[in-house]
């Protein structure tokens, strides 16, 4: 089996054996290799991993938005319909109405030459048969709901007239205007000031809970997932290497990479200089290691690690891509020593 979680057909989203590759001048780049996962209605799932792990490409595939040069295989079933084979018109209808995306940089989604209000209203009217006045009213309500003060005035303003945090809120409003069932948020707070980051994250979680919207939250920060999600998918070098509940990942990680990410999270009682980062770097998809892809960085590497690793079931709905996981005693976030007094 190349992935995990076969799914029982009742999931909102079921991704099966998703692979994304590119032909490059240096040879084929297998950026995403055989990812399988599900997301239930209203569920919040975090996808975590260092830069270059294949997270953004996976997120884009859920909207049929992978770059034109990408070769994509597998299936992305949203309520049973495969978005990878859907005719373009159907896909455009699905986008916004059933699944939408928040990007790290709001200007990726907002057009500088139209007012914020025009853009939210236009998205609404593309998908719903409503009058201009109804679309305006709904857009202003939504701007208020995402915490934008003076929404009537902001409705008439251009994106450059808003602060970074307000622009991100406007993009969230645009993503939610048609009440999608699934929201993909790719590093939605990384470009914002630290003080604004927590507010925007809280807003995304609050809105997804209130509207019953499922969330795939993509981030390099496992601490963010710990605060917001029910389940976590850890990605490394184009593969999902662990998937389980957030509590299980925090208390008893089974993959050395998840444990390494946990060791790097700032936490009470641990000075910044004592946080451990994982030595080395994510390999390029052009030359992934032949055996376990994490092998060259893994302090537990041993017999059998020279072979490619399969996803293994290791508990109820708990998967890990490490043949040695039974033998390892890995550090979780809760096993941090309390501060000496």
Q: Which residues bind ligand SF4 (CB under 6 A)?
A: 256, 292, 294-295, 298, 300-301, 305, 309, 322-324
Footprint of ligand ADP on 249-288 (CB under 6 A): 284-285
Which one, 104 or 245, has the nearer CB to Mg ion? 104
Beta strands in the chain (DSSP E): 13-24, 27-39, 44-48, 71-78, 81-82, 99-102, 182-186, 214-219, 231-236, 239-245, 312-313, 319-320
Contact 91, 145 (CB under 8 A): no
Residue 54 in contact with ligand ADP, rule: CB under 6 A? yes
- Interface residues with Mg ion (CB under 5 A)? 56
User: CB 57 → ligand ADP: shortest distance, Å?
Assistant: 4
The yes or no reply on residue 71 touching ligand ADP (CB under 6 A) is: no
22 binds ligand ADP (CB under 6 A): yes
Which positions ≥6 away from 247 have C-beta within 8 Å? none
Of the two residues 61 and 162, which places its CB atom closer to ligand ADP in the complex? 61
Instruction: Using the minimum distance from each CB to ligand ADP, give the nearer residue, 286 or 312.
Output: 286
Out of ligand SF4, Mg ion, ligand ADP, none, what residue 54 binds, judged by CB under 5 to 8 A for its kind, is: ligand ADP
| Integer Cα distance of 174 and 177 in angstroms | 5
DSSP states along 203-239: HHHHHHHHHT-EEEEEES-HHHHHHH-SEEEEEETTE
Taking the least distance from each CB to ligand ADP, the nearer of 23 and 290 is 23
Which string of DSSP letters, residue by residue, matches 60-111?
HHTTT---TT-EEEEEEEETTEETTTS-HHHHHHHHHHTEEEE-SSGGGTS-
Minimum CB separation of residue 52 from Mg ion in Å reads 8
Shortest Cβ distance from residue 56 to Mg ion (Å)? 3
Our finding on whether 53 is near ligand ADP (CB under 6 A) is yes
For ligand ADP, the binding residues (CB under 6 A) are 22, 24, 29, 31, 49, 51-57, 67, 69, 284-285
């Amino acid at each position: 089996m190349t992935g995990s979680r076969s799914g029982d057909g009742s999931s909102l989203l079921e991704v099966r054996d998703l692979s994304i590759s590119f032909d490059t001048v240096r040879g084929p780049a297998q950026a995403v290799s055989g990812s399988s996962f599900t997301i239930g209605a209203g569920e919040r799932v975090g996808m975590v991993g260092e830069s270059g792990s294949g997270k953004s490409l996976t997120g884009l595939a859920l909207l049929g938005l992978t770059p034109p040069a990408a070769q994509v295989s597998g299936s992305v079933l949203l309520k049973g319909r495969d978005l990878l084979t859907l005719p373009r018109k159907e896909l455009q209808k699905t986008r916004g109405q059933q699944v939408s995306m928040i990007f790290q940089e709001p200007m990726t989604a907002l057009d500088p030459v139209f007012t914020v209000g025009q853009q939210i209203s236009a998205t609404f009217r593309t998908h719903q048969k409503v009058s201009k006045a109804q679309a305006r009213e709904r857009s202003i309500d939504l701007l208020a709901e995402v915490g934008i003060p003076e929404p009537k005035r902001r409705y008439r303003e251009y994106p450059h007239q808003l602060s970074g945090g307000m622009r991100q809120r406007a993009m969230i409003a645009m993503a939610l205007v048609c009440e999608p069932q699934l929201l993909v948020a790719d590093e939605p707070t990384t470009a914002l000031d630290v003080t604004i980051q927590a507010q925007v994250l809280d807003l995304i979680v609050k809105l997804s809970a209130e509207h019953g919207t499922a969330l795939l939250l993509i981030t390099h920060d496992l601490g963010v997932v710990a605060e917001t999600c029910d389940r976590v998918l850890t990605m490394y070098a184009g593969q999902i290497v662990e998937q389980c509940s957030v509590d299980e990942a925090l208390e008893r990680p089974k993959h050395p990479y998840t444990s390494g990410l946990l060791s790097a999270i700032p936490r009470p009682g641990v000075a910044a200089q004592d946080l451990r980062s994982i030595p080395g770097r994510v390999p390029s998809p052009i030359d992934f290691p032949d055996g376990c892809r994490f092998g060259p960085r893994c302090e537990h590497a041993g017999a059998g690690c020279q072979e490619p690793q399969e996803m293994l079931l290791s508990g109820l709905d708990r998967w890990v891509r490490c043949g040695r996981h039974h033998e390892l005693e890995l550090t979780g976030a809760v096993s941090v020593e309390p501060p000496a007094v």
